[in-house]
A and B are shown apart, each in its own frame.
Chain A
Amino acid sequence: MNSSIVITGEGIVSAIGLDKLSVLRSLQEGKTGIGAMQYLDSVHKELPVGEVPLSNEEMKEQLGISGLASRTALMGILAIKQAIEEAKIQKGDKRIVLISGTTVGGMDLTERYYEELVHGDFKHLDCLEYHDCGGCTQFMANYFDIFSDYTTISTACSSAANALILGANLLKSGQADLVIAGGTEALSKFHLNGFNSLMILDKEVCRPFDATRAGLNLGEGAAFLVLETEESARQRDVPIHAYLNGYGNACDAFHQTATSENGEGAYLAMNEALRMAGILPSDVQYVNAHGTGTPNNDASESVALNRVFGIKMPLVSSTKSYTGHTTSASGSIESVISILALQHQFVPGNLCWKNPFNDGIIPTLGESHYELHHVLCNSFGFGGNDSSLLFSDRPTSVIDSIWSDREIKVLSKVEINSEEELAEIKQFVKPLEARRMGKLMKSSLLSSLKALQQAGIQCPDAIITGTSMGCLENSELLLNEIHEQGEQMIKPTLFMQSTHNTISSNIAIRLKCHGYNITYTQGDNSLDWALRDAKLLLRSGKAKTVLVGIHDETTPAFRDIMSRLGKKYDYSIHSLVMVLSCGN
């Protein structure tokens, strides 16, 4: 099907507003939502944050929800509700798919009851049902009862952008009639302390692209967008708010928590979005930058922007100085902001910017009236998971792939079932390189390298990973540190290897693979979703070879607690990897 992908509804919940209109007002008035911590239960009150100005109880009351619910899911439901109401979506015979991006998931609940659980008090044991990211999405989907399918993407701070990309691909390949895609992320003590251990949180309000920038401020929120084909929007007679004409997903393949000096991943992602939309860099009027306010990101993103746009730099601003860095939700929150800019023909200013730095871009301080046709929205994540989306007020001659039913071959398959097998990693990796790898990192890397070796492929075109629970061991160790020594002296290595996408990016870094890179986490369906995406990619001709894998680990404490919920896990480590290929 070669129809344009359009946006027909947007819902947003953030520090600068609980709906689209109030967000628009804050942006136009240059009002930040970053301030003193009110809702998060953390000792780090010195750190400003961008909190959604509602308590969990207030959200539950609005939504008619009683009992346990994670803040991530509650904010997500609020945003989805707005989006589907605006796009006039009702339960019916259409295939409606929910795609959510999150990394924190229900960690806010887990950390609240962790102390109880450690001390053998299992009163709130069922909080673990909502812990994992996929459980969070399932909770949101069940609330609405309109979705034929749902999944979760976890690529850290680009999760929501990648959710939109998958949504567009499902529509183009005819696998869905309507898609609700976006992301949601609540503040948690876990990731606040994690970012703090990386020493990249500013104690003042962040100043993206400023010479004196000293880090980011964390924010929270959710935003979801309704995606459909232009044809479907016309048939349903709903107004089109914007066109998603192009998108790119690339991997920086440089370091887990730092971006490369030449901004390779960011450059590739932006270029691909423009190429797909069939437009030139000079056609873009505004870039909503990732612009976190860390010295590293803003320097590297400036280099990438200069490489793409050269002397014809469009207006650029980071809106994280309004919302804070909403991590997994930032891709969709900033997509909604980009669409508001297009619809209202204005450009939000980069708050708090005063001093340029060497080779840094000069951001705009805002334009109340500005002619916009094409807006690029950047989202970059840890591990170098970089994505870029192009929103327009009109369709372009999208240069897209030709979808086919080409046969897909399995070139190799490798499985790891025990910790003993991991010793073999020494044949591939020096001890120094393996110094930070826990068993899941070793297992995923070893199985992938062996599968590629067997397939005779050095570097695949794409790496797609599924994991039902992610990096449990390091997450548990980090929770233990917070529990035992309070919120101080947290080991950065634990945080660095607690996000789901560490697995996939670790493989990419090792292979220097800059291609498409994504991580699915949807319980028992994680591998199915990874395979589904691999097939999409192969059949669209965008990749000739794809490395697909499912990787999971458990710990003794985890197995013990889960058995109380009637869930049996009989493995300590498990990896299954395949190299797939298609066409000639």
Chain B
Amino acid sequence: MDELIKQLKEQIIDVLNLEEMTPDDIDDQASLFGEDGIGLDSIDALELIVLLEKEYGIRLANPSEGKAIFKNVATIADFVSKNRKK
């Protein structure tokens, strides 16, 4: 799981182009969206949907499914480990 979490953080930094951020800067439990967290928005959520499909073969049909999955890196890792196709 730790390996997956690290990999996810690297991928998130890469696809969202979070310059000047390293995996260590993102707490597993920190909110990714909203003002009190990292501050991502709806376009970032769509980018994360593309990331899941490209890297893990997971397809979300409805963007609203993303809300619970993309809460923080730990929730994404949990979802990916249970649903990944590659």
Contacts and interface: CB of A to CB of B under 8 A. Distances in A.
Interface of A: 197-199, 255-258, 431-432, 434-436, 489-493, 496
Contacts of B49: 199
Interface string B12-29: 000111111100000000
Contacts of B63: 199
A255 B62 CA distance: 21
A197 B54 CA distance: 13
Contacts of B41: 255
B42 A258 contact: yes
Contacts of A435: 16-19
Nearest to A488: B53
Given A435-B17, A493-B43, 13 more contacts: A197-B46, A198-B46, A255-B42, A257-B43, A258-B42, A431-B18, A432-B39, A435-B16, A435-B18, A489-B54, A490-B50, A491-B47, A492-B50
Nearest to A496: B43
A197 B50 contact: yes
B43 A431 contact: no
B42 A431 contact: no
A194 B42 CA distance: 15
A431 B50 contact: no
A198 B50 CA distance: 10
Contacts of B46: 197-199, 492
A435 B49 CA distance: 18
B18 A436 contact: no
B17 A436 contact: yes
19 contacts: A198-B46, A199-B46, A199-B62, A199-B63, A255-B41, A258-B42, A431-B21, A434-B19, A435-B17, A435-B18, A436-B17, A489-B50, A489-B54, A491-B15, A491-B47, A491-B50, A492-B47, A493-B47, A496-B43
B47 A431 contact: no
B14 to A, nearest CB: 11
B30 interface: no
Given A199-B63, A435-B19, A492 B39 contact: no
Interface residue tally on B, bucketed by range: 20 to 34
Contacts of A256: 43
Interface of B: 15-21, 38-39, 41-43, 46-47, 49-50, 53-54, 62-63
A560 B47 CA distance: 31
Nearest to A438: B17
Contacts of A255: 41-42
B43 A489 contact: no
Nearest to A258: B42
Contact of B43 (A432, A490, A492): A492
Q: Which 3 A-B pairs have the closest CB atoms?
A: A492-B46, A431-B20, A199-B63
A432 B42 contact: no
A491 B39 CA distance: 19
A489 B20 CA distance: 26
A257 B42 contact: yes
B11 to A, nearest CB: 13
Contacts of A199: 46, 49, 62-63
A490 B53 CA distance: 11
Given A431-B18, A431-B19, A436 B50 contact: no
Contacts of A436: 17, 43
B64 to A, nearest CB: 9
Contacts of A489: 50, 53-54
Nearest to B38: A432
A434 B63 CA distance: 24
Could you say which of A256, A435, A489 has the most chain B C-beta atoms within 10 Å of its C-beta? A435
A493 B51 CA distance: 13
B39 to A, nearest CB: 6
A258 B63 CA distance: 14
Nearest to A433: B39
Contacts of A493: 43, 47
Contacts of B38: 432
A26 B15 CA distance: 46
Contacts of A431: 18-21
Contacts of B20: 431
Contacts of B50: 197, 489-492
Nearest to B19: A431
A492 B38 CA distance: 20
B80 to A, nearest CB: 16
A491 B54 CA distance: 11
Could you say which of A199, A434, A436, A490 has the most chain B C-beta atoms within 10 Å of its C-beta? A199
A197 B15 CA distance: 15
A479 B82 CA distance: 34
A198 B43 CA distance: 8
Nearest to B41: A255
Contacts of B17: 435-436
B47 to A, nearest CB: 6
B53 A432 contact: no
A435 B18 CA distance: 6
